[in-house]
Chains A and B, each alone.
Chain A
Amino acid sequence: MNFANAAVGQYMPGESLMHRLDPRTKMLVSLGIIIVLFVVSNPLAYALLAVPIVLAIAISGVPVKLVFRSLRPLTFIMVLTFVLHLFMDPGEALFSIGRITATDQGLRLGIVTVVRLTLLVLATSIVTMTTSPIAFTDGLERLLAPFARLGLPAHELAMMMTIALRFIPTLLEETDKIMKAQMARGADFESGNIAKRAKAMIPILVPLFVSAFRRADELAVAMEARCYRGGEGRTRLRELAFSGEDLAVLIVAGAYTVAVAVAL
């Protein structure tokens, strides 16, 4: 295990159109695609929905291998749901293993689920991989702003997310360091049964929590020292700018997605 290597969905700086787009555009388009993804059930629709995703990956210049790596953590869930669908759904029998029988409907639903999940993960990954965390939460805050009037703490949510995102790499690095330090003292995280392995996590988790609390304290003090007092009246260094490119992409992609949803 080495956490120093790129985390899933990590931002990869670049200059492409995907990188330039306003985060709101990217989020709205991918959200639209995802919603339609779960509304339609026609194989042709999936193929059509895959088109903008593949296009986005191609434009972004992010290595394809890296985008697909984000599927890895979900492999287990995908295989599990596929197998469950295949054997548990009703329908015409395809083949049997002992007393359990695979059905045609199960096969179809299994494939549909796997395709949906795959496209979902790819669509979100390509957004996070081309959007810096700051731009991402900025976009989110602006998108949620209208709901603030209904009592949704948009700024607080965005700030929490910014902080969480900001600290993921720090904590991963910290975990990596603590693991190495304990390995240097002969700790073994890879062998033994589940109980033994869970116990082997204690020497990592205790120091990790201690340091997370310490960091949280320090951060709170640092924020207060700089007069942070919530979102009201707060200005930004970089205002999000919705450009002509954004408008074009939003219209074209939006129209395309809606058309797919309506037609199929």
Chain B
Amino acid sequence: MTSGLFWAGGRAEVSSTVIEVRNLCHTYMRGTPLARQALKHVTLSIAEGELVAIIGRTGSGKSTLVQHFNGLLRPDSGHVFVDGKDIWQKGVALRDIRRKVGLVFQYPEHQLFEESVASDIAFAPRNMGLSDNAVDDAVREAMRIVDLDYDEFAERSPFELSGGQKRRVAIAGVIAMRPKVLILDEPTAGMDPRGREDVLREIQALHDEHGYTVVLVSHSMEDVARFANRLVVMEDGRIAMDGRPRDVFQRRDELVEMGLGVPQITDLMAELARRGHNFPTDVITVDEASEALLPSLLAASGMAGESDSPCGGGGR
């Protein structure tokens, strides 16, 4: 994993910023007794090539925030810039913005409506005014990216697919616009462990292989710890933390207070350190943890080199 190449302050130049929000405020049901301020002066910029995870509890404002990124919500005050352009200025076509910044909603399979998978995925490119050939190309490419075989699925009804397949169709429906930035709101919500794993791996591939700038909204630390290179933590409509996952997870107590916590493996390492063992505490994945722990375990068992199985060792 690259260690926050795009995140490190010095590297991110102004020109590479794709999305920037400044002083964003948003209130739902404004002017009624039910008014609720969802965003309070949020300022954030996202650079090209980043894989950012936005984390927060339900109601912390993360979904509201990302809906500002492509102009689905209009801020009460503050500005949204995409590629340096203020999207609420006169003369800016929101459709172009939405093409550039693709947003996959939570439970995106609920938006499927067409008779066949291919025509549903074609909805967005068709709205963009592409020719039939270009639409077909876009559909095939999108299906390839989300790992759906064109010949097998193109003509099937999206309603007869499994949950995981439906979700892929829906994600392909956004990818087919060939956006520059892809935002996914809780892409693994309600999926079984295997489906989760698949979707997360695809998202990582979108970023690593296909060059997308990815914004991932989630409330699962475990999901994002592995591959996000930047973590934005939201609480009560504000940005509470922003940095590399490794650094953010160091603030464990604050995260627990927010009801978020840290990955279990980070918890484990912190506990070991607390009991006086000299292990690093900035561990965020199981692989890193075994790397850190194995030598000591093997040494302790006195069987280094004799056994392939570190757990089975011990010789008692």
Residues of A at the B interface (CB closer than 8 Å) are 4-6, 10, 12-14, 62-63, 65-66, 174, 177-178, 180-188, 202-203, 206-207, 210-211
Contacts and interface: CB of A to CB of B under 8 A. Distances in A.
Chain A at the B interface: mostly helix, strand, loop or mixed?
A: helix
A4 B105 contact: no
A188 B95 contact: yes
Contacts of A13: 33
Contacts of B70: 184
Shortest Cβ-Cβ A-B pairs, 10 listed: A186-B127, A206-B113, A185-B124, A181-B111, A184-B103, A181-B105, A6-B32, A180-B72, A203-B113, A186-B124
Interface in B101-130: 102-103, 105, 108, 110-113, 123-124, 127-128
B311 interface: no
A211 B110 CA distance: 7
Chain B at the A interface: mostly helix, strand, loop or mixed?
A: mixed
Contacts of B95: 186, 188
B110 A207 contact: yes
Interface stretch (B23-31, B190-198, B212-220): B23-31
Interface residues of B, number: 29
Nearest to A176: B72
B79 interface: no
Contacts of A63: 31-33
Contact of B127 (A62, A188, A211): A188
A221 B98 CA distance: 39
Given A6-B34, A186-B95, A202 B113 contact: yes
Interface of B: 28-34, 67, 70, 72, 95, 98-99, 102-103, 105, 108, 110-113, 123-124, 127-128, 159, 173-174, 177
A66 B28 CA distance: 15
Nearest to B33: A12
Contact of B110 (A178, A183, A186, A188): A178
Contacts of B127: 185-188
A4 B29 CA distance: 7
Contacts of A202: 113
Given A185-B173, A203-B113, A5 B28 contact: yes
B159 A186 contact: no
A10 B110 CA distance: 26
Contact of B99 (A6, A66, A186, A207): A186
Contacts of B123: 182, 185-187, 203
> Which of A10, A65, A180, A202 has the most C-beta atoms of chain B within 10 angstroms of its own C-beta?
A180
Contacts of B99: 186
Given A186-B128, A188-B127, A178 B111 contact: yes
A210 B31 CA distance: 33
A5 B127 CA distance: 28
Given A178-B111, A207-B112, A211-B110, A184 B29 contact: no
Contact of A6 (B29, B173, B174): B29
A183 B97 CA distance: 11
A66 B32 contact: yes
Contacts of B124: 185-186
A210 B159 contact: yes
A210 B166 CA distance: 14
Given A203-B123, A207-B110, A183 B98 contact: yes
A81 to B, nearest CB: 30
Contact of B105 (A14, A180, A186): A180
A183 B111 CA distance: 11
Contacts of A12: 32-34
Given A202-B113, A203-B123, A186 B177 contact: yes
Given A181-B103, A188-B127, 12 more contacts: A5-B30, A6-B34, A14-B33, A62-B33, A177-B105, A178-B110, A182-B123, A184-B105, A186-B99, A186-B124, A186-B127, A207-B110
A14 B173 CA distance: 45
A216 B80 CA distance: 39
Contacts of B28: 4-5
B20 to A, nearest CB: 19
Contacts of A185: 98, 111, 123-124, 127, 173-174, 177
Contact of A186 (B31, B33, B98): B98
Contacts of B31: 63, 65-66
B105 A207 contact: no
A6 to B, nearest CB: 5
A71 B67 CA distance: 31
Contact of A184 (B32, B34, B72): B72
A184 B128 CA distance: 11
